[in-house]
Amino acid sequence: MSALSDDRSNLFVTVTSRALNPKLRIVAKAVEHSTGPKLRRAGADAVVSPNQIGALRLVGEMVRPRVVSFLDSTLQERDESLRVEELVVDERSPLAGRALGDTPLASGKELSVIALQERGGKFRLAPPPDTRLEPGTALIVLGHAAELARVLRPLAANGPS
């Protein structure tokens, strides 16, 4: 991660990091919006623009305040509130090759798989129970913190998530 105060430094860190480790996941900060594409070309996997995020947040607070409040509660609070987590299915996972409906994630009441990202990057909302979980698939799961920990911890323990 490179979150320095100027784009030139973040660009340098990105290029250097990519040269040292081609497999490294690099997230870089863009001060100016126009720097984002340059950081991606330099090897950043993701670019975060605090100014752009701030602007989107201001608009969100104006037009969808309850949605923003809900998302804040799922991403920031550490108590027993609702949380959003991700779980990547790898080839050693007990989920690999199984239908979503035949897994502990299909409990319904306490957990909800709200989206699935296929290996190619495409998101599918509310995947049906007969969806096969192939290695490389990422699941976006909504639930209470305790239930997420109870169900996801054993599933992630069998491989990196």
pLDDT value for 80 = 61
Rounded Cα gap, residues 91 and 8, in angstroms:
39
Question: What is the CB neighbour count within 10 angstroms for residue 67?
Answer: 11
Q: What is the count of structural domains for the chain?
A: 2
Write out the residue range of the structural domain in which residue 43 sits: 7-52
Show the tokens assigned to 123: 């998101």
In a domain, 48, yes or no: yes
In a domain, 68, yes or no: no
Same domain for 40 and 83, yes or no, is: no
pLDDT bracket for residue 157 (50, 70, 90): low
In a domain, 66, yes or no: no
Look up the pTM and report it: 0.74
pLDDT bracket for residue 98 (50, 70, 90): very high
Residue 159 predicted with pLDDT over 60: no
Condensed to tens digits (0 to 9), the pLDDT of residues 17-70 reads 999 999 999 999 999 989 999 999 999 999 999 999 999 999 999 999 999 988
Query: Which of 78 and 85 is assigned the larger pLDDT?
Result: 85
pLDDT value for 79 = 61
Same domain for 152 and 94, yes or no, is: yes
Same domain for 85 and 122, yes or no, is: yes
Rounded Cα gap, residues 147 and 152, in angstroms:
8
